[in-house]
Amino acid sequence: MATLCRPAVAVPEYVITQEETLDLARSIHADHPQLPLALRLIENTGVRKRHLVQSVEETLAHPGFEARNLRYEAEAKRRVPQVVREALEHARLTPQEIDLIVYVSCTGFMMPSLTAWLINSMGFRPETRQLPIAQLGCAAGGAAINRAHDFCTAYPNANVLIVACEFCSLCYQPTDLEIGTLLSNGLFGDAVAAAVVRGSGGTGVHLERNGSYLVPDTEEWIAYSVRSTGFHFLLDKRVPGTMEPLAPVLVQLAEQHKWNASELDFYIVHAGGPRILDDLCSHLKVDPECFRFSRATLTEYGNIASAVVFDALARYFDEGTAVDRATGLIAGFGPGITAEVALGRWTVPVKPQSFAKTLIRSSN
């Protein structure tokens, strides 16, 4: 029984508010012919603030791709270990009990992956398997959960550590002036998250089914153009409308599991933007309150890429309203256009003492 345990999430100390973002856009792009449109789009994101790994001044300076990537590696090594330790504590496991590390990130590059550094520096066994995922963007959080589920299905007693490390601000490109890029400059934030999928035991989401879907002929809608200055984010104006083809995928997966996607107890969905969440609510015929965790992530942190689903899930844990066997859906959306979807139930392990009491009552 693969159980996704409570995630650990951390955001950097530097903060930029929406007001500051709008003021920067007005000053830096004062002569941009579509500035009013860009400002309106940024305001409509609902993002109140975002967290950055470096000051705004450093971010705007852009010292080059090499310096940016070195900063990515240094910040990852500085910030990931504490989040990993917290995730292991939530799952009541030690590094020695982890069999696979899935590392997801689309905002920097390392080879070997940070997984090798984690194994060498945090006490994981040399036999620990590694699965770095670098090119699924925001969908990678859902993909990591699904690959961990697959692994625990193949190896029922195994445990998987998932790490999502996203420093979106290190991809800021001052020379990119397309409307989609200007919008992205006011939408994406930085965060690190980690979670454990236990093969047996644990409190959290018992993963029961997963699926993946690629919307045909949309591979250019979300993409990177890799240039001498680094990763240049490309965002097509048709992306906000992708819930129309993707919502039926969620419905179909739930139907295959004999569930109704409109009647689940919880929804943990990637918060790409308010339009995504609004459209998904409409297509699934659910109350907007069902996506409160994703909306809270978007409002407080912005779009933190693959880390969104873990932060939204952590908020569900924090709310404390989950009941045993509550049904739910986890979905990540990203380049491709790709959807990674999981279905599961909330589970609380039966304590040996309470189980014995249940047997005694039953026999009487």
Q: Is residue 70 part of a domain?
A: yes
Question: Closest Cα to residue 283, out of 222, 312, 242?
Answer: 242
The pLDDT of residue 351: 61
Pair (38, 135) in one structural domain: yes
* List 5, 106, 138, 281, catalytic entry: 138
Cα atoms in the 13 Å half-sphere on the side-chain side of 67: 8
Q: What angle do CA 79, 190, 336 make, to 5 degrees?
A: 115
Cross-strand partners of 14: 52
What letters, b where the CB count within 10 A reaches 16 and e where it falls short, cover 154-176?
eeeebbbbbbbbbbbbbbbbeeb
Q: Is residue 288 part of a domain?
A: yes
Of 165, 198, 231, the position where a domain reaches its end is: 198
Which residues neighbour 250 within 8 Å (Cβ) at sequence distance 6 or greater? 261, 280, 284, 329, 331, 339, 341
Pair (183, 117) in one structural domain: yes
Host domain of residue 39: 3-198
The pLDDT of residue 354: 43
Q: Using an 8 Å Cβ cutoff, are 208 and 20 in contact?
A: no
pTM to 2 decimal places? 0.93
Q: Is residue 41 part of a domain?
A: yes
The pLDDT of residue 348: 84
User: Is 138 in the active site?
Assistant: yes
Structural element, H or E, at residue 130: strand 129-133
Of 178, 198, 218, the position where a domain reaches its end is: 198
Q: Using an 8 Å Cβ cutoff, are 168 and 308 in contact?
A: no
CATH number of the CATH domain containing 262: 3.40.47.10
Structural element, H or E, at residue 212: strand 204-218
- Helix 292-301 crosses helix 308-319 at what angle (to 10 degrees)? 120
Pair (281, 326) in one structural domain: yes
Q: Is residue 156 part of a domain?
A: yes
Pair (319, 334) in one structural domain: yes
The pLDDT of residue 359: 41
- The SS3 call for residue 82 is helix
Pair (270, 142) in one structural domain: no
Q: Using an 8 Å Cβ cutoff, are 167 and 75 in contact?
A: yes
From CA 207, how far away is CA 290, in angstroms rounded? 20
Q: Is residue 357 part of a domain?
A: no
Tally of structural domains, the chain: 2
Pair (157, 225) in one structural domain: no
Pair (97, 151) in one structural domain: yes
Cross-strand partners of 341: 211, 331
Q: Compute, in degrees rounded to 10, the torsion defined by CA atoms 314, 317, 320, 324.
A: 150
Q: Is residue 352 part of a domain?
A: no
Pair (180, 323) in one structural domain: no
Of 198, 230, 262, the position where a domain reaches its end is: 198
- The DSSP bridge pattern shows strands 8-10 and 100-104 to be unpaired
Pair (342, 306) in one structural domain: yes
Pair (123, 246) in one structural domain: no
From CA 208, how far away is CA 244, in angstroms rounded? 25
The pLDDT of residue 121: 97
Q: Is residue 151 part of a domain?
A: yes
- The series of mean pLDDT values per 10 residues for the chain, 364 residues long, is 96 97 93 93 94 96 94 98 98 98 96 97 98 95 98 97 97 90 92 97 96 95 91 89 93 97 96 89 95 97 97 97 95 95 90 46 42
Pair (176, 213) in one structural domain: no
Pair (75, 159) in one structural domain: yes
Q: Using an 8 Å Cβ cutoff, are 312 and 145 in contact?
A: no
Q: Is residue 355 part of a domain?
A: no
Count of C-beta atoms within a 10 Å radius of residue 282:
13
Six token digits for residue 63: 């010292």
